[in-house]
Amino acid sequence: EVQLVESGGGLVQPGGSLRLSCAASGFTFSSYALSWVRRAPGKGLEWVSLISSRDGMIYYADSVRGRFTISRDNSKNTLYLQMNRLRAEDTAQYYCAKEIHYDSIGHAFNVWGPGTTVTVSS
């Protein structure tokens, strides 16, 4: 079964840091681009960042560029999101999501994890 499971969420003060992880199984992890997507309370879905499968291309939403860093460890089948200088508006459920097509980006997300909750508050 293809599966993504996020971890690492929690309560953090403004200005603090968190590192999210997403463990993957059931597919050839190194062959698919992955993204982080979030949904803040009362808001819609917001794409956060993408990392490609093999060539290391990385993209960020304007709202997180310079504060968040996406990375992947293909040997551990794990995706990461290092979040620094957190703000109240980063409070959200964070999902990792897999691109639908092999070695491709910019199409659709056909697998999503259950998400992990990040709360930024003093």
Partner 1 sequence: SYDLTQPPSVSVSPGQTATITCSGEKLGDKYISWYQQKPGQSPVLVIYQDIKRPSGIPERFSGSKSGNAAALTISGTQAMDEADYYCQAWDSNTHVFGTGTKVTVL
Q: Which residues make up the interface to partner 1 (CB under 8 A)?
A: 35, 37, 39, 44-47, 50, 59, 61-62, 95, 97, 100, 105-110, 112-115
Q: How far is the CB of 5 from partner 1 (least distance, A)?
A: 11
CB of 122 to partner 1, least distance (A): 27
Q: Which is nearer to partner 1, 2 or 14 (CB)?
A: 2
Cα 71 to its chain centre, rounded Å, is 9
- Provide the minimum distance between the beta carbon of 104 and partner 1 in the complex, in angstroms, as a whole number: 10
Give the pair of three-digit tokens for residue 18. 């968190």
> What string of DSSP letters covers 57-111?
-EEE-TTTBTTEEEEEETTTTEEEEEE-S--GGG-EEEEEEEESSTT--SS-EEE
